[in-house]
Structure 1
Amino acid sequence: MALVSGSTEHTSEDALSALVNLVEADLEACNHVIVGRMDSPVTLIPQLAAHIVAAGGKRLRPLLTLAAARLCGYPDRDGGARHVELAACVEFIHTATLLHDDVVDESQLRRGLASANAVFGNKASVLVGDFLFARAFQLMVEDGSLKVLAILSAAAATIAEGEVLQLVTQNDLTTTEARYLEVIQGKTAALFAAACQIGAVVADRSEREETALAAYGMKLGIAFQLVDDALDYVADQATLGKTIGDDFREGKITLPVLVAFVAGDERERAFWQRTIEAMQQTDADLDHAMHLIAGHGAIRATLERAQWFVQEAKAALLVFPDSAIRRALADVADYTVQRLR
């Protein structure tokens, strides 16, 4: 099957920049909606929300909504701003989950800055996360489409299910790769898929195109999380903007760990059982874990798995005719794995 290909000369930042440039006006309008909807007479709410927004982030999920809508020809000559409002809705869902996740994971850093829960406390972070979820649902209702509401509300429920499933599989080295993929499909990829699909919905495009964009988003999201999980064992903290080894310290089951565990000898398996299942860790254990993961090619295996999903994502775009926006979306898929190179 022929695949949509982006330029191999592009760096990962080039890929995102190209997509941003194509939807720049829409993204600026989306940012205005985000800032406006974060406002509240309860001053702690905009303060905390502004803190996590100020931490940066590439607005990838709302970018996907805006780009998908443009790919589908929305808005047309008559204009329209549904895609802008819904992109803000997607970002609110994502930000709310970040606030809750950082509390659950007891994270101290978010994109290189102190996490909201580290600055404002767990109670405030959970409650402001709830506020942002409520804002997201207000935007869905204002859009007026029951189909959009069904897609995004289902995604919100799936995210929660994915996070709970991750909690269930935590510290369990009998977890299969299929179960692990189920976790990341729920906690991460479901929102990518919904973000893309609603771009086709607002443009009133065919079910075939809706399905294609949902598939693109789902495969992209899985690849994105696979690489994120690999980065936890290879990346420089200053570059990644989070504490390296968080997944290890929390006993999370990710593909690099599963590959190294299955490939390991009896002594190595005993190491993983002590550190991941029994959570008996010393200061030297993270370095040893990274050594075992590197020695068994677990990062390479994870990257190859991510690359497969990237190719699937790019193939889904073939439903649409060639265009600058389609090429940019293909390049963004490549960007997900380039982060690990």
Structure 2
Amino acid sequence: MNINTFISIENDLKILDKNLKKMVGAKNPMLYAAAEYLFNAGGKRIRPAIVLLVAKSTMKNGIIKAEHRRLAEITEIIHTASLVHDDVLDDCTKRRGLDTVHYVFNTKVAVLAGDFLFAQSSWYLANLNNLDVVKTISKVITDFAEGEIRQGLSQFNMNISVNDYLEKSFYKTASLIASSCQGAAMISNANLIEQNCFYTYGKHLGIAFQLIDDILDITGSTKLLGKPTGNDLKNGNLTAPLIFALSETRVLYKYINREFQYKNDIQKTIQNIKDSQGIQKTKDLAKEHIQASLKALQNQKESNTKNNLKEISHYILTRLK
């Protein structure tokens, strides 16, 4: 991303970081320690940044409301809670370059910390006193559960289609970005057409983000990702590059069928995916969703904020470089 992408909301993001630590003030010291550890781990804060940029874009005077700030904070809390639960389910030992919560503490603390964060987000959401926003964001937590169930039921399933996979990706990743964009527009009292445009922008951005994540799980390094590569494969989560590669490389069925139990199965699978058109086809699909996200912004008035939102779309693809 251009160094100026977040400059207009730089102070807002600093406030967000301070508020996140205040918002997770659990009475139980172990829960507090786990939650504080999570937010100290940092992260790019892309989701709250998008919320704040949509807020600026939809306010006539460009001034972000307190409710927008709170929605950005809620969005990051929900995202973080979902990561904690994901790491437990996938038995992932690293996240953002640090040991995961269940690895540092234990699985019970991690599950409770995730539950606590979801509960905190619901409390702060209710206190926005905006029923439409509450309904929109509450649906996200249901979508997370739906995505996890779908993923759990389709482990090592060689019959999963690209469409099935994209649906699951919507529930697990894109739903939060789409709904928080829409929620920001709602708080600004934007009209329904504008609300739907930003929902569409967030939806396609989120799907593209997930597709690029899947490529990086195959081609990236642990240092770059902040978590082990090939982790999805190990857990039986068949992602887009592998689904595309299956149509070309029959030997992959053998590795999946035996659930990558042999010593070099993961490495061989990764190499077979790299040798196929799977990564290129996934990148092409991500580009389609990036274009759809940009198209959703077409009717918005020209502004620096709109350009910042476009830059975020373009940034998704540059993560591969």
Per the normalisation by structure 2, the TM-score is 0.96
Aligned counterpart for 1:111 among listed residues 88, 96, 103: 96
Structure scoring higher RCO (CA < 8 A, sep ≥ 6) equals 1
Aligned counterpart for 1:129 among listed residues 114, 123, 129: 114
**Alignment-mate amino acid for residue 281 of structure 1:** Q
Q: Is the 8 A contact 2:20 2:39 kept in 1?
A: no
Q: Is the 8 A contact 2:21 2:39 kept in 1?
A: no
Unaligned runs of 5+ in 2: none
Whole-Å separation in 1 of the counterparts to 2:62 and 2:167:
37
Helix, strand or coil: the match of 1:172?
coil
Q: Deviations over 1:47-80 (max 9, x none)?
A: 1112122222111111111111011017766x73
**Alignment-mate amino acid for residue 283 of structure 2:** L
Instruction: Give the CA deviation at 1:137.
Output: 0.8
Instruction: Give the CA deviation at 1:20.
Output: 2.0
Count of residues in Structure 1 that have an aligned counterpart in Structure 2? 321
Q: Deviations over 1:80-118 (max 9, x none)?
A: 310001111111111111111100000000011111111
Helix, strand or coil: the match of 1:263?
coil
Aligned counterpart for 1:332 among listed residues 306, 312, 315: 312
Whole-Å separation in 2 of the counterparts to 1:302 and 1:217:
19
Whole-Å separation in 2 of the counterparts to 1:65 and 1:75:
16
Whole-Å separation in 1 of the counterparts to 2:65 and 2:39:
26
2:193 is aligned to 208
1:221 is aligned to 206
1:256 aligns with 2:241: yes
Whole-Å separation in 1 of the counterparts to 2:260 and 2:10:
49
Percent of residue pairs bearing the same amino acid type: 31
- Superposed, which structure 2 residues align to 1:34-113 within 5 Å? 34-73=20-59, 80-113=65-98
Q: Is the 8 A contact 1:170 1:252 kept in 2?
A: yes
Whole-Å separation in 1 of the counterparts to 2:72 and 2:155:
32
Helix, strand or coil: the match of 1:19?
coil
RMSD: 1.4
Q: Is the 8 A contact 1:171 1:278 kept in 2?
A: no
**Alignment-mate amino acid for residue 22 of structure 2:** G
Aligned counterpart for 2:259 among listed residues 266, 269, 279: 279
Instruction: Give the CA deviation at 1:274.
Output: 3.4
Whole-Å separation in 1 of the counterparts to 2:212 and 2:257:
23
Instruction: Give the CA deviation at 1:29.
Output: 2.1
CA shift in 2, pair 1:51/1:277, >3 Å: farther
Whole-Å separation in 2 of the counterparts to 1:273 and 1:296:
14
1:234 aligns with 2:214: no
Instruction: Give the CA deviation at 1:194.
Output: 1.0
1:5 is aligned to none
Whole-Å separation in 2 of the counterparts to 1:300 and 1:132:
37
- Superposed, which structure 2 residues align to 1:134-153 within 5 Å? 134-153=119-138
**Alignment-mate amino acid for residue 129 of structure 1:** G
Whole-Å separation in 2 of the counterparts to 1:145 and 1:278:
50
1:197 aligns with 2:182: yes
Instruction: Give the CA deviation at 1:46.
Output: 1.9
**Alignment-mate amino acid for residue 175 of structure 1:** I
Whole-Å separation in 2 of the counterparts to 1:74 and 1:103:
43
Per the normalisation by structure 1, the TM-score is 0.91
Q: Is the 8 A contact 1:257 1:293 kept in 2?
A: yes
Q: Is the 8 A contact 1:71 1:325 kept in 2?
A: yes
Whole-Å separation in 1 of the counterparts to 2:146 and 2:127:
26
**Alignment-mate amino acid for residue 83 of structure 1:** H
